[in-house]
Every structure is written in C-alpha cells, then in structure tokens.
Amino acid sequence: MSLDFEKDVADIEAQIEEFKAKNPEPTGALVKELNRLELERADKLKETYANLTPWQTVQIARHPDRPLIRDFIKGLFSEFIELHGDRLFGDDHGIIGGFAMMDDIRVMVIGHQKGRELDEKIKCNFGQACPEGYRKALRLMKLAEKFNLPVITFIDTPGAFPGRDAEERGQAEAIARNLLEMSSLKTPVIALVTGEGGSGGAIGIGVGDIVLMLSNAVYSVISPEGCASILWRDGAKAAEAANALKITAKSLLQLKIIDEIIPEPLGGAHRDYAGTMKAIRKSLIRHLGSLKKIAPKKLANRRFEKFAAMGRFK
C-alpha cells in the first residue's frame, strides 16, 4: 500500500513493474534503463522521506505494513518465552511480553500488540491495552527486577482502551501504578517507540532509563485528530494539530524527551524489516552494555532525576 504523498514513488514503481513484465530478462540498454528507473525511485523516496510533514509521519507510523511487536520479537531475539496474565483478572492481548534472548543477553520484552489480520486486531483491541495489560506488564517488570533482567518495551498504541470495562477495572489506576513502579524499578529499562506513542497508553510502559524512537514514529499527549476536534473544533484539522503538537522523533529529541533516534531504512521501516532490525539491534546492544555497568539502586535514582527534570525550565 502506498500513501497519498508517495504518489511519485508509486508511479515509478508502477513503471518498473511494467518494464519488468515487458522485459523479463533485460540485456544491454534495457539493463541501463532499469537501473535508471531504480535510481530514480531511490531519489524520489529519499526526497519524499527527507521532507515529511508531521502529519505524513503519523501516517507512516500507522502504516498497515509497519513492523509490529511480533515482527520485532522475531527479528531481534533468538528465543521468546511468552508469559500470560496479570494474576488478577485475565490476559490482555493488547500488551504481550515474556523472556527473550538477544545474542547471549537475557531480557524481558514487553510491548503493545496491534495485530496484523482483522481477527487478530479485534482480539487485541487494535493495540489499545486494558488495565490487565498494564498490570501484566508490571508483573513482568517485577519478575525482571527479581531475576536481574533488563526490560525492553516496544511502544505502539493509539492509546489505552477507552471502554466501560476498562474504566471499571481501573484503567487510570493501572497506568498510574506502572508510572510509579517503573520510576523506581531496580533493573535497566529501555523503551522504544516503534510506531504510535499514544498518550497515557504509551507512557504506561514507557518510563525508561533510555527512551528511543524509530525515525518515523510519533509520540504525543493526544492524537492529532483528538487535539484538532477539541482545540480547532474540527477533526479535519489534524495536520495542523500534528504540526503544533511537536510529535516527531526530531522534535522530541530537541525537547530532550527522548535520548536517541534510530534511523529507519530509506522509505521507512515498512519497506525494509531486515534493515530496521539491524539498526534497532545495534542501538539496543550498545545501551544494554552501558546500562549493565550501573548499580540497580543508582539506576533507579538516575531514572528519577531524568523524569524529574522534564519540563523544568528555569
């Protein structure tokens, strides 16, 4: 699927397809022509992706082909032992987690699950976790603390589920509890925003020693549509709201909310899973290495200082 603003790229891609269909085994001048088209495609992609507006970035962050938690687990870890349930109510599919192995490093992986196919999407509420999802996440983080495993969270959610049941079971309390407990967890925590960092639903597993973002991910206090409908009284003004809210990785790095941007391959993570995983792995290995050297108590203190300093301007 190509996005509206990728029309130039899509046109060339269509040309390439047509050319390949006409010339299944190109030789001589035809090879040159194919190479020229491929180069043109790369140039167009580069141009398009170098000048993305915040609203276009939102669309990439929500792209249906963008890698999801299961893809990250498969692409980054050699083993994954999924753990289920919050021991209080049930097992939420909006957040999954478990033990995982990256090279020879044992870690606890936790992340939002949006689901790929429709039935899967429905099962996990399109990545909108319920209180039991946040409570499962906390249970796994406490396990990680107990067994000295670093925690890696993958954030990709439109927001926490706004449902009657979720409210009755304490959506607010579940998120609040996670914020408090994560801030003092005595093991390293790395949070990576991979797609949509949707407000409280995102920060609910996002209190990290290191907070990373993929270059086309977004992270915001409210969705651009939600903000537009409240402050512009017009949901269609989402592009303007996206601009005003400063939700791109670049803006968040400038605001010192995140620590590092992980560059996605040319044309976005959805075009190149392997390249995306390689970039993430490199960053995670480096940060796991440096966090390992810090004593757990000191780590928790540093994490407190880090978040305490956010929004301190004078």
Enumerate binding residues for another protein (CB under 8 A): 160-164, 166-173, 175-177, 179-184, 199-200, 203-204, 206-207, 219-222, 227, 230-234, 237, 241, 244-247, 252, 255, 257, 303-304, 307-308, 310-314
Long-range contacts of 11-20 (CB under 8 A, 24+ apart): 12/37, 12/40, 12/41, 12/44, 13/41, 16/41
Min dist CB 247 to another protein, Å, is 7
Min dist CB 90 to another protein, Å, is 16
Min dist CB 68 to another protein, Å, is 22
Q: Using an 8 Å Cβ cutoff, are 206 and 136 in contact?
A: no
In the complex with another protein, the residue whose CB is nearer, 59 or 183, is 183
In the complex with another protein, the residue whose CB is nearer, 30 or 122, is 122
Min dist CB 23 to another protein, Å, is 50
* Pairing of β 189-198 and β 210-214: parallel
Query: What is the C-alpha to C-alpha distance for residues 116 and 122, in angstroms, rounded to an integer?
Result: 10
Q: Exposed e or buried b for every residue in 191-214, given b needs 16+ CB within 10 A?
A: bbbbbbbbbbbbbbbbbbbbbbbb
DSSP 216: T
Q: Which residues pair with 99 in a beta bridge?
A: 81, 108
Q: Which two tokens stand for residue 237?
A: 């003004």
Question: Which residue is it, tokens 């499962």?
Answer: 136
Question: Which residue is it, tokens 């300093």?
Answer: 309
Q: Using an 8 Å Cβ cutoff, are 109 and 80 in contact?
A: yes
Q: Using an 8 Å Cβ cutoff, are 230 and 238 in contact?
A: no
In the complex with another protein, the residue whose CB is nearer, 177 or 271, is 177
Min dist CB 135 to another protein, Å, is 13
Cα–Cα–Cα angle for 307, 310, 313, nearest 5°?
Answer: 150
Min dist CB 158 to another protein, Å, is 11
In the complex with another protein, the residue whose CB is nearer, 9 or 299, is 299
Measured from the Cβ of residue 100, the count of other Cβ atoms closer than 10 Å reads 22
In the complex with another protein, the residue whose CB is nearer, 3 or 231, is 231
In the complex with another protein, the residue whose CB is nearer, 32 or 256, is 256
Q: Which residues pair with 213 in a beta bridge?
A: 193, 261
In the complex with another protein, the residue whose CB is nearer, 76 or 217, is 217
Report helix, strand or coil for 192: strand
In the complex with another protein, the residue whose CB is nearer, 22 or 312, is 312
Min dist CB 189 to another protein, Å, is 11
Min dist CB 142 to another protein, Å, is 14
Q: Using an 8 Å Cβ cutoff, are 212 and 190 in contact?
A: yes
